[in-house]
Structure 1
Amino acid sequence: MGKFKIGHFTDLTKGTGCTVILCPEGTKASGCARGVSPGTREFALLSPFRKVEEIHAVFLTGGSAFGLDAAGGVMRYLAEQGRGYHTPLAKIPIVPAAVIYDLAVIDPGAFPTAENAYQACQAARSDAQHQGTIGAGTGATVGKWAGLEYMMKGGIGISSYRMNDLWVETLAVVNPVGDVIDANGNIIAGAQRQGIFIAQNDPSLRWKTSDLKFGQNTILVVVMTNARLSKMQLYYLAERAHNGIVRAVIPAHTSYDGDLVFALSLPQTEAQIDQITEIATEITRRSIIQGVMEAKSLGGIPALRK
């Protein structure tokens, strides 16, 4: 929607990838991390108490912390376009970035490079709606609380809402330790054994046999809107959008997750902040569900789509 452009690099052979969201001029941003172990770059400047208000792109990537280096490819692309924060000597592109841990899918030594991120920028389109096993969601998985051998495939999901001149869109990279549930609380993707969800009839089974290691799971969400919002309001929007994660994942925001939300505004129309935050919460929930509904099997990991 709007003028935000989404681009992906996908490596199905190695089970990793990256996604870039190129922002129009004048895009304001904030963010909120609720996960215990997020992996980020330039995320601190999104605080409403920091000076920089406008950003030029958001970069989401697999490869854990190794993938953060790839953000340099986005900066190079933007610099070539003459985009960046004005300083006396140069324009500096502002590119907040976040990672997921996808090293357990196929190749633990694989991670996106700066050249891959540059390719994602070249591929970015304003009408991009690709979902599932693509970009940063290539190696995403869900339902790891019972151990990696029981997990299912996650991916990228997108959902949007339009009312008159106002629009809100969310993109989620779905890689949680927990199970993904529908609006009735039924598991639709998660820890399973021979096609049966382990915790469907007995939620108390969660965590009893986990062999997880710290920080291997994350949901990344980007909320985009054309509502005219201050940086403090954008922080509040990011904070509230975390409720969408809670509605779609059980358990959420655990000590094993690095969940975070970016909130971006291209100020074009007036809207009431609580209306926007509730819309964002609901479509965050929907985008998480879309991420598993559209994911395809990779590396022998089962998926909802055949």
Structure 2
Amino acid sequence: MLVGNADDQRLKSGVTAVLCDPPATAAIAVLGGAPGTRETDLLAPHNTVQTVDAVVLSGGSAFGLDAASGVQAALRDLGRGFPVGSLRIPIVPAAILFDLMNGGDKDWGRFSPYRELGYEAARAAASSFATGSAGAGAGALTATFKGGLGSASTVLANGITVGALVAVNALGSATIGGTRHFWAAPFELDGEFGGIGMPSPWPGDAMLPRLKFREAPAAPVNTTIAVIATDAVLTKAEAKRLAISAHDGFSRALWPSHTPLDGDLVFALSTGAGGKKPLLEDFIDLGVAAAATMARAIARGVHDAAPAENDVKPAWSQASA
């Protein structure tokens, strides 16, 4: 599984593509109230197509759905896709976040740039990739700081690996009250997002929701979109359950999450490369790891964001200790 980013810093937006070779079993769980998606109905367990060639996370709101066409074109160049007679149709579900009001120049003319950004992201796919202000996280925001693209992984005791990739653009905040401490701090490993732990004393405003439309007089510009992937052998129904479990990581890392103004969703991918079919008790452990790994990835997306010209929110790195 490879990840590629393409972004335009003047636009303050971009695309992240996750390429699956061979195709991966996939599912989706949508718990936010304002999602934007393409080709996600086919991921239901009862529908015919069992695997996907890629999934796409994109900025641009509904314009960003064009990114999947670019990724599809790149895969077609490679001869990839679901066979239909003599043809191959790349299966590329996609999700978008709203980053149209983040200080970037969106005067792109007749056609949006997202199809080409999608193509570039697919062509750039590799085993290593940038996080923070990159790809789908290039223009992401939270209520308090810039958002961004984050990733994390966990290897379970039984050898199964789970990894999370997330573009954090939440209505709420990844940090506690007015502090720079992350809600996900209990899950942090090796100081991966600052190593500052929980605040002490506990701030009196911690439980007060910090929301974009309260922090600044602008329309809400939201949605956190993610991928949870594993090398375990899962059915589509089990992948759906894994995606649901990963949403617990949203709840651990963002306050609030899953609001009517967020399109929060998680794609789940099972490559089966590890060759292990989890038993029921193993699957519970896998779900726990998915939630913790997702929480870490969300915090890392905010932590890794970089300051840039015309920003409407500060980067986490600019906050005073």
Q: Normalising TM by the smaller chain, what interval?
A: 0.7 to 0.9
Select 2:276's aligned residue among 269, 272, 275.
269
- 3-state SS of 1:118 partner: helix
Q: How many pairs align?
A: 286
Select 1:23's aligned residue among 17, 20, 25.
20
Matches within 5 A, 1:140-219: 140-143=140-143, 151-163=144-156, 165-181=159-175, 188=181, 200-202=203-205, 203-204=207-208, 206=210, 209=214, 213=219, 216-219=221-224
- 3-state SS of 2:224 partner: strand
**Contact 1:18 1:112 (C-alpha < 8 Å) held by counterparts:** no
Root mean square deviation, CA, Å:
2.4
Q: Counterpart of 1:227?
A: 232
- The one-letter code sitting in structure 2 at the alignment partner of 1:305 is S
In 2: Cα distance, 1:205 partner to 1:219 partner = 17
1:253 aligns with 2:263: no
Identical-pair percentage: 38
Shift of 1:10: 1.5
> Structure 1: which 5+ runs fail to align?
144-150, 191-198
Change (3 A) 1:287 1:185: farther
1:88 aligns with 2:85: yes
Q: Counterpart of 1:133?
A: 133
- 3-state SS of 1:277 partner: helix
Q: Counterpart of 1:118?
A: 119
- 3-state SS of 1:152 partner: coil
Shift of 1:189: 6.8
In 1: Cα distance, 2:245 partner to 2:271 partner = 19
In 2: Cα distance, 1:260 partner to 1:133 partner = 20
Shift of 1:269: 2.1
In 2: Cα distance, 1:87 partner to 1:66 partner = 29
In 2: Cα distance, 1:288 partner to 1:259 partner = 12
- TM normalised by structure 1 equals 0.87
Instruction: Name the structure with the higher strand share.
Output: 1
Q: Counterpart of 1:196?
A: none
In 1: Cα distance, 2:166 partner to 2:209 partner = 27
Mean Cα deviation higher: 269-278 or 63-72: 269-278
Select 1:290's aligned residue among 300, 310, 313.
300
Q: Counterpart of 1:65?
A: 62
Matches within 5 A, 1:32-71: 32-71=29-68
- The one-letter code sitting in structure 1 at the alignment partner of 2:124 is A
- The one-letter code sitting in structure 1 at the alignment partner of 2:204 is N
**Contact 1:141 1:176 (C-alpha < 8 Å) held by counterparts:** yes
In 2: Cα distance, 1:71 partner to 1:122 partner = 13
Change (3 A) 1:112 1:155: farther
> Structure 2: which 5+ runs fail to align?
184-201
Change (3 A) 1:293 1:204: closer
CA distances 1:256-290 after superposition (whole Å, capped 9, x unpaired): 10000000001122332111111000000000000
